[in-house]
Amino acid sequence: MPIYEYECKACGHRQEAIQKMNDDPLVECLACNKPELKKLISAAAFRLKGGGWYETDFKNSGKKNVVKDDSAGKPSESSPKPKASSGGCGSGSCGCH
């Protein structure tokens, strides 16, 4: 079930509530007991972790959809350098086969 965030227009108190998507919005503030709650729009806060189809089912070279740190994606000194080739792709000299 999603977590919804509410703010009271009367006292400014913020609260969260776990509700079904088809539940009616809350109206009564837990802090001041006035019917002044307004549902806020907020981003979902979750991340898929661990092994599973969303991380491991890439068909090319076993890549995973996970960012490890700020240096991810930057070439390092130990990264293999591209091979120079005289032939085009399909000749095998580009390293794709």
Task: Tell me the DSSP string of 21-51.
Answer: TTSPPP-S-TTT--S-EEEEP--------SS
Residues 24, 29, 35, 41, CA torsion sign: negative
Cβ 3 vs Cβ 43: under 8 Å:
no
| Residue ranges per structural domain of the chain | 3-40
In this prediction the pTM is 0.46
pLDDT at 41: 87
Cβ 91 vs Cβ 84: under 8 Å:
no
Per-residue pLDDT at 85 exceeds 50:
no
pLDDT at 1: 79
Amino acid at 23: D
Cβ 22 vs Cβ 13: under 8 Å:
no
pLDDT at 91: 56
pLDDT at 74: 53
pLDDT at 21: 87
pLDDT tens readout for residues 23-80: 999 999 999 999 999 999 877 666 666 666 655 555 565 555 566 665 545 554 544 5
